Amino acid sequence: MSILITADTTCIIQGITGREAVSMTRECLDYGTKIVGGVTPGRGGRDVHGVPVYDTVEAIAKKTRVDASVISVPPAFARDAAFEAIEAGVKLIVIVTENIPRFEVAQMVELAALRGARIIGPNCLGVLSPGEAKIGGLGGRAVDARKAFTKGRVGVMSRSGGMTTEICNTLSAAGLGQSTAVSIGGDAIIGSSYAELMPLFEADPETEAIAIYSEPGGRMEADLARWVTENKSRLPVVAFMAGRFMDAMPGMRFGHAGTIVEGKADTTAEKIERMRAAGIGVAERIEDIPALVKQKLGR
């Protein structure tokens, strides 16, 4: 099985006529994703790789079922795009746009919660369930995605889109496929954290283990450790923690907007200690993840 998306998931792309969105549309179509429409206000009636373009999300939703939307618009328009999709009844919103103001992200997340929708991102590459569908730019071209991502029983979550692919490629090379890979986003505020996605993997009978890529900054690892402990998770978890050098440089940021070390709890050392205390295996290198997963599974 998979979480969030399946081969039957219908998807739209908001901002579909943008340069990056045009490429993403082609990649998703080639992978087999069911893209039923795109939205760019004022450009309705056109098409992108055969996908019809509409002026509004509502116009598509009136014609067909829309399960998910990818938002690829400039930061100034991201909140309105998310609001539009949520109010049109779309339940999964994947936001690839970065540099959205925090208070606007918070508003989007709050509205999604009120309407029973889920946001992935922002500043993410999306979701990929091997052999089912990919929503967003995760994995790049379909031919590359099929090499890096293979169907299996390891759920993957990562704050970095690129490292999501790297971990999946490493797992695949070791004969361990993935149930679903989720690029959760690198901003300080995101729609779905590790702990918030864990219940979905926990409920999936075909997911047997979890691999995550994490970074300094924020409280997501502490929340994950707490969730795993309090819920007595059946799933063994293996993590790779980047940025160990940052422990000596509080206040420094590298890579993502969310990787700001503001105090001891944000440091790599503290996060590793918390995760190990919760029984989460911590890999020294990315290439060590498959062996740790196999060890956790008793293979």
What CA–CA distance (Å, rounded) separates 63 from 71?
Answer: 20
What CA–CA distance (Å, rounded) separates 135 from 218?
Answer: 26
What CA–CA distance (Å, rounded) separates 34 from 9?
Answer: 7
Alpha helices in 204-280 (DSSP H): 220-230, 268-277
Catalytic residue among 79, 118, 134, 256: 256
Nearest-10 Cα torsion for 6, 100, 58, 9: 0
**Are the C-beta atoms of residues 166 and 158 closer than 8 Å to each other?**
no
**Are the C-beta atoms of residues 133 and 6 closer than 8 Å to each other?**
yes
Order of strands, sheet of 126-129, starting from the edge strand that comes earlier in the sequence: 133-136, 126-129, 178-183, 151-158, 209-214, 237-241, 281-283
Q: What Å distances lie between residue 284 and 166, 181, 287, 288, CA to CA?
A: 15, 21, 9, 7
**Are the C-beta atoms of residues 186 and 160 closer than 8 Å to each other?**
yes
Tell me the residue length of the chain: 299
Could you say which DSSP state residue 116 is in?
Answer: T
Looking at residue 179, its amino acid is: S
Q: Does the annotation mark 49 as catalytic?
A: no
61: left (phi over 0), alpha (psi -120 to 50) or beta: alpha
| Active site (catalytic) residues | 256
